Structures are given as structure tokens and as C-alpha cells.
Amino acid sequence: MADVVVTDLSRHYGSFIALDEVSFDVKDGEFLTLLGPSGCGKSTTLASLAGLDRPTSGKISIGGRTVFDSESGIFIDAQYRDLGLMFQSYALWPHMTVYKNIDFALELRKIRGAEAKQRIHETLEMVDMGAFVSRYPGELSGGQQQRVALARTLAYRPQILLLDEPLSNLDAKLRERARLWLSDLQRRTGVTTVYVTHDQSEALALSDRIIVMERGAIAQIGSPEEVYERPATAFVADFVGASNLFEAILETDGLGSGKITLSSGQKLTVEGPINLPSGPVIVSVRPEKIELSAAPDKQNVLAYELEARSYLGARNLAVVKVGSQSFRVECDTIPGTPNGLLSIPETEIRVFPTAEAGGRRSH
Ligand SMILES: Nc1ncnc2c1ncn2[C@@H]1O[C@H](COP(=O)(O)OP(=O)(O)OP(=O)(O)O)[C@@H](O)[C@H]1O
Ligand SMILES: [Mg+2]
């Protein structure tokens, strides 16, 4: 049982608040990702779980055991938390072979003999490195070293795997492969995993749930679909995936439905219920949700002017102008004409309070 429960966790550095009363849980066997921009508190959270950093206040329990509680002064050292840690610097011991690297990690935990041997072979097979037992780290590629480092962590069968940007040293292609492989491995072993990244596509591809962090606080917790399709704040809409973000004026009828007025004066209907008062709002529309066509049954039809187009490989990107406003549109084919009509389904328009309104939640 490896449920992790984090309650009101804070970390202050003098007057700077790196973590501000963060609460979440990690379910047994879950792959949970902490996602957010540089400096938002991801590594601080992970180091608190690991016992490598002592938070200022709050409580952490792992598998029903309290490992940190500021009120009762409990702080269990990292080595007694039964965790598998892998940080960006995954340094293998350079003077030891792949085999010895894992064996030494097991020796430190008093796992010896046939049991150690079996675990070493088993975990190396798991990460597809069985053929490399006698190589030294200097004789392996970066990706292979990373896999050995992960095998070393998995060999002592921690109840929780804590990974801080473990794929960051790999090139884009290798990273994508490592991602598929890591996700498969996690599902096969069922080890509860907390993963840190600032790469949103990595988070979307790997996670059961994502915690999006912003300046030491949680902006949203949800499945990849929830976070992408129903971002809780303008920040999440902007950070996770691409968004057209712009200001508009909302008019609500008080019954939950409403319209927004663009800077051009044109109006778009927005699917309700809308729980915001009439006034300035931030609007988010995903580039792939705008259609560069306007069949008679389409909603929110606007005239556009094509400004730029580029080929993305499988898809095309168009930048179109509606009045003074530019929209990015991702689509399969871009019409050949410089002008046309586009449509935006009302279900795809998200409305958020402006920063000045102080609110954070969407409708
Ligand atoms: N020892 C420290 N003293 C003062 N401030 C610190 C200290 N350690 C971290 N911080 C600050 O706490 C904040 C959170 O740091 P953290 O390392 O958790 O960020 P992160 O989300 O992991 O970012 P990155 O993606 O860049 O790794 C940052 O603003 C950082 O400067
Ligand atoms: Mg970090």
C-alpha cells in the first residue's frame, strides 16, 4: 500500500514562499506528474516527499505512515522512507560495470547472493539492457545510462518511484521512445510513481493524473484529458498545450448563458453554464478547435484574412486575422484563398476571469 497523502505542505526560504499549503494524494499504483514552469516548486515538492528537504509546515504520510508532521515534529530520514529516487543527474558509478552498479546499490540495502543476482538480471531485462552487464557507463549512450540508472532504482523495489526530469538529457527522438518505454514499465511493475517535468507533452503522454503547479501552488489536478480539455485557469490553458488567449467582454443573461464581444466588435456565443459576471474576461480557444470553414450549421462564424501558413509535418498551421486580432489555427488543409469564413464551436470557448478580477477558476 503506497498511497501518499500530502496536507498543507509549505516551504519558506526566509520571506520567499516556494510552496504554499499544497495538498494532494497519490493513489497506490498511480503515475502522477507534477507539471509547471521553472521555479514553480516541483523539485521542492519531490524533495519533501523524499525526505531530502525539510518543509516549513504541513504533513506527509506514505502508506499510512507519517513521515513528516510539522506539528508533532516528525521527520523520517530519506533512507527510512523506502523510496526509489532518480534525479536529472542520474550518475552511475563510472568505475563499476553495469552489473556492479546495481549490485552495489543492492549491497547497500543488504540484498545479497542469489536474490541479488536474480534482481539484477530481472531489472536489466525490464529496461532492455540485459546484453550490457559487463559494460562500463563510459561505454554506453546517454539513454542507455539512464535506463541502467532506472534499473538500479527498480532493483531494490521501492514502494514509490520519485523521478525528477529523468529524461531531460535525451534528444527529442530518444526522449519519445524512453517515454513510451517508461510508461509501459510503470504499468507492468505497478510501482506508484511521482514524476516531475516542465514538458507538457511528456506529462500528457505518461500520467494517470497531472498536478499543474504555478508559483508554489496547485493550479489544477486532473487527468490529462481534464487538464487539456477543461483547464481550470487561463494559466493552465496557456501552459498545457497551445492556446489562443485574448481579452474580450463577457455579457451574461444571469441564467448561465452568455456571449463574448471581440475587440473587432463581433460577438461569439459561449456554452454555459457561465459562472462569471458580465465584464472583461480572458478567453482561451485551442488552435485545433477553430475550423477554417463555415457550413450553414456552424456556430460563431467570422470572416478572416490569411496572414501566414506553415507546414508542421502531419498538420498545417495557419495564422489568420479577424479584425485586429490574430488566431493560430491547426488543421489538415488550409484553404487556398486569402480570405474566408471560419467557425468556432461554442463548446470550445473557455472563459476565465482577468488577473485584475483576482479570480482563478473557469466557468
Ligand atoms: N535553498 C533555496 N533557497 C532559496 N530559494 C530556493 C532554494 N531552493 C529553491 N528555492 C526557490 O524555490 C522555488 C522553487 O524551486 P524548485 O526547485 O522547486 O523549482 P522547480 O519547479 O523544480 O523548477 P525547475 O523546473 O527549474 O527545476 C524557486 O523559485 C527557487 O529559486
Ligand atoms: Mg526542478
Q: Which atom of ligand 1 is nearest to the CA of 13?
A: 4
Q: Which atom of ligand 1 is nearest to the CA of 14?
A: 4
Enumerate residues lining ligand 1, CB below 6 A.
Answer: 13, 16, 18, 36, 38-44, 198
Q: pLDDT tens across 114-170, in order?
A: 999 999 999 898 888 999 999 999 999 888 888 899 889 888 888 899 999 887 767
Instruction: Give yes or no: residues 145 and 256 share one domain.
Output: no
Choosing from 234, 255, 283, the residue where a domain stops is 234
Q: Is 293 helix (H, G, I), strand (E, B) or coil?
A: coil
Task: Give the chain's domain count.
Answer: 2
Q: Could you list the residue range(s) of the whole structural domain that residue 146 is in?
A: 4-234
Q: Let me know how many helices (H) and strands (E) the chain has, helices first.
A: 8, 20
- For ligand 1, atom 19, name the residue with the nearest CA: 39
Residue environment code for 330-343, b if the CB has 16+ CB neighbours within 10 A, otherwise e: bbeebeeeeebebb
210-267 per-position pLDDT tens digit: 999 999 999 999 999 999 999 999 999 999 988 999 999 999 987 778 999 999 899 9
| Nearest Cα to Cα of residue 280 among 300, 299, 256, 252 | 252
Strand (E) or helix (H) holding 175: helix 172-189
130/197 same-domain check: yes
pLDDT value of residue 57: 98
Nearest-atom number in ligand 1 for the CA of 47 is 18
- Give pLDDT, residue 250: 96
Please list all protein residues whose beta carbon sits less than 5 angstroms from ligand 2, which is an ion.
43
Has residue 362 been placed in a domain? no
Between residues 198 and 272, which one has the greater pLDDT? 198
* pTM for the structure as a whole: 0.86
Asked whether the bond before 231 is cis by omega within 30 degrees of 0, the reply is no
Residues contacting 279, CB < 8 A, separation 6+:
249, 250, 357
Element containing residue 224 per DSSP (H, E): helix 224-229
Pocket test for ligand 1, best of 43, 52, 164 (most atoms within 8 A of CB): 43
Same-domain pairing of 264 and 219: no
CA of 200 to the centre of ligand 1 (A): 19
| Strand spans (E) along the chain | 4-13, 16-26, 31-35, 57-62, 65-69, 74-75, 83-86, 160-164, 192-197, 209-214, 217-222, 244-252, 258-261, 267-270, 279-285, 301-311, 316-322, 325-331, 339-343, 350-353
Residue nearest to atom 31 of ligand 1 (CA): 39
What residues are paired with 245 via a beta bridge?
284
